[in-house]
Amino acid sequence: MSQIDDGPEHLAGDPAAPDRYSTGVLSHERPTELKRLQALERMADAWSQRVFAERGLRKDWRCLELGAGAGSIARWLSAQCPDGKVVALDIDVRFLDAGWAQNLDVVQGDLRDVEFPPASFDLIHARALMMHLSNPEAVIAKAARWLAPGGWLVLEDPVNFATDSSPHSAWRRIMSALEDALSAQGSDLTWARRRQPTIMGEAGLIELGLTLQPMIVGDGGAVDAFMRLFFDQVGPSLIDQKRVTSDQLAEGLALLDDPQFLDIAHSLLIAWGRRP
Ligand SMILES: C[S@@+](CC[C@H](N)C(=O)[O-])C[C@H]1O[C@@H](n2cnc3c(N)ncnc32)[C@H](O)[C@@H]1O
């Protein structure tokens, strides 16, 4: 649990609140954010691409990448769909470049306000985005309308299924501090728990599917690299906010160098559904 009173300016889940993603610890303004997003891509792109392939990705698909971040999935989809097109939307597009591909458009906008014509896309994808929105249900309902008949919505969000059952107290401590800090800025690592398919079903989608990808730490792989960058970026705030001490942070991160340490950070919940 939080060790500090977050104060009214940090209240989570207030639909009237201004966008806190763009101003919080994960803002594109942070000097390390591009590297953090690229590490996220190296960790998760293969997982996302496998789900697209299983949905029958075709050369002529029209794709919408929501919260495109540093753009690797938008770029990859542009190459996979040469006879289709890709729209990459983000509230902050500084890391995206429409010049990467002829069939790629970059759109700056807040997903909560943006509209596209009904039935415009064969694939709509959002990774690590819905958890940052105060009303993901409304956005999912909109996205379902933007799908053409037969089109797929694929949503991926990290969830903290396993953190509190970690046998490593130093790891539990820093992960819990991270989760509390994100929650205080309105980013919810719990909302996706099992609810994504239900919400997609309520939005009229069918052929619902769900899979869970654990983010294994301690093996020296891409998740380790991502978590190190994540803590480099948010660590000073966690200490300032008295969620952890610098010694506790160092102790937790040192586990990543311990050959006997193997654990789970978060898990990525990946859900999909199809417009009839
Ligand atoms: C954690 S990053 C994930 C980036 C990318 N989807 C990935 O997984 O590699 C979340 C992205 O969503 C964008 N974002 C956050 N809130 C948004 C909103 N309301 N509308 C559009 N984009 C938003 C952020 O700017 C950021 O690029």
User: What are the structural domain ranges in the chain?
Assistant: 19-274
> What is the arithmetic mean of pLDDT over 13-19?
44
> What is the arithmetic mean of pLDDT over 205-230?
96
For the stretch 100-140, pLDDT in tens is 999 999 999 999 999 999 999 999 999 999 988 888 999 99
The reply to whether ligand 1 has any atom less than 6 angstroms from the CB of 67 is yes
Structure tokens at 114: 């943006």
Under the banding of pLDDT at 50, 70 and 90, the label for residue 188 is: confident
The reply to whether ligand 1 has any atom less than 6 angstroms from the CB of 92 is yes
Res 21: pLDDT: 73
Distance 18 CA to ligand 1 centre (A): 15
For the stretch 54-100, pLDDT in tens is 999 999 999 999 999 999 999 999 999 999 999 999 999 999 999 99
48 or 9, which is more confident: 48
The reply to whether ligand 1 has any atom less than 6 angstroms from the CB of 265 is no
Res 193: pLDDT: 61
Q: Which of 235, 266, 239, 233 is nearest to 28 (CA)?
A: 233
The lowest-confidence range among 46-60, 146-160, 177-191, 233-247 is 177-191
pTM of the model as a whole: 0.92
Measured in whole angstroms, how far is the alpha carbon of residue 52 from the centre of its chain? 16
Res 185: pLDDT: 84
Res 187: pLDDT: 85
| Topology classification of domain 19-274 | Rossmann fold (3.40.50)
183 has pLDDT over 70: yes
